[in-house]
Structure 1
Amino acid sequence: MTKSFRLHPQLEQDCIPLGRFELCRLLMMNDSLYPWFILVPEKPDVTEIYQLSKEDQILLIEESSFLAKNLSELFLADKMNIGAIGNMVPQLHVHHIVRYKTDKVWPAAIWGKTEKIPYTEKQISDKKILVKNQLKGRLHPWTATGET
């Protein structure tokens, strides 16, 4: 019997689902201080990129590059911070954080520097529309959660 994929509970708690690519779910971190998105490959029991098949490694890099380019253009980033840390949440997930030279902690990493400020419902709705329009054609609904 094949084990099915399940999103880590911490990611479920901290993030807003936006949709999915061929390999990865796309989440938005519920922190209005930064445009912050997370790709999660839908593969069970994977904690490291090298554990993916060669084909999935390539697909992850393609999806990550596509996302980073589009986020950078959409939000006029000074820099895209991309990383798969996994110290707190072992499930493989790749952060894509839009950074500005004017943000509160530039040039330091954002982790642990400020308290998160959750989005309002209106901000969530607006950001979903903005990002989905930017990624249309590649981003698909995430039907497992009723996301459309």
Structure 2
Amino acid sequence: MQDFMLDARLANDSVSVAIIGLCDLRLMKDRRWPWLLLVPRRAGVSEVFDLTPLDQALLTFETNTVAAALKSTTGAVKINVGALGNIVRQLHVHVVARFEGDPNWPGPVWGHGKPEVYSDEDLNTFAAKVREALSL
């Protein structure tokens, strides 16, 4: 964990909400979708199978916990979870709340339109709600 460095693109596109164990839980800076990222704090990891079996279990547990918290916080119709990594190779898991009629519903969120930035107040408020739902 000492050599862990967050990919510059992830750092630019998101803000840390909390360290939840294995992962840095981050909020994407795009208010069109409530969109969280889990980034395992392990150096040189690009695939889930690169993690130790224990870290794989932790990642699954943290992903499910965050997905449930995001659904309860937002009332989303569907929670999308994915680890693509085609552009940013560092392992990270997307957890996105989706609603019928949201931008690009039912299509994917990646590469659709231009991001809409949160105000500082809205970003901080939403991050606090997520932390509360996670009991942090």
Runs of 5+ unmatched residues, structure 2: none
Runs of 5+ unmatched residues, structure 1: 138-148
Q: How many angstroms apart in 1 are the aligned matches of 2:110 and 2:86?
A: 12
- Asked which structure has the greater CA Rg, the reply is 1
The secondary structure found in structure 2 opposite 1:69 is helix
Q: How many angstroms apart in 2 are the aligned matches of 1:82 and 1:98?
A: 9
Does the aligned pair in 1 maintain the 2:38–2:63 contact within 8 Å? yes
Q: Mean Cα displacement is larger for which, 64-73 or 122-131? A: 122-131
Distance 1:131 1:3, change over 3 A: closer
Q: How many angstroms apart in 1 are the aligned matches of 2:99 and 2:135?
A: 25
Deviations 1:48-82 (A, max 9, x none): 00010011101100000011011111101111110
Aligned to 1:108: 107
TM-score normalised by L of structure 2 = 0.96
Does the aligned pair in 1 maintain the 2:72–2:133 contact within 8 Å? no
Percent of aligned pairs with the same amino acid:
34
Aligned to 2:131: 132
The secondary structure found in structure 2 opposite 1:126 is helix
Q: How many angstroms apart in 2 are the aligned matches of 1:77 and 1:66?
A: 15
User: How far has the Cα of 1:22 moved from its partner?
Assistant: 1.2
Q: How many angstroms apart in 2 are the aligned matches of 1:34 and 1:114?
A: 12
1:67 matched to 2:75? The reply is no
Q: How many angstroms apart in 1 are the aligned matches of 2:6 and 2:50?
A: 17
Q: How many residues align?
A: 136
The secondary structure found in structure 1 opposite 2:116 is coil
TM-score normalised by L of structure 1 = 0.88
User: How far has the Cα of 1:100 moved from its partner?
Assistant: 0.5
Moved over 4 A (4+): none
Q: How many angstroms apart in 1 are the aligned matches of 2:75 and 2:65?
A: 15
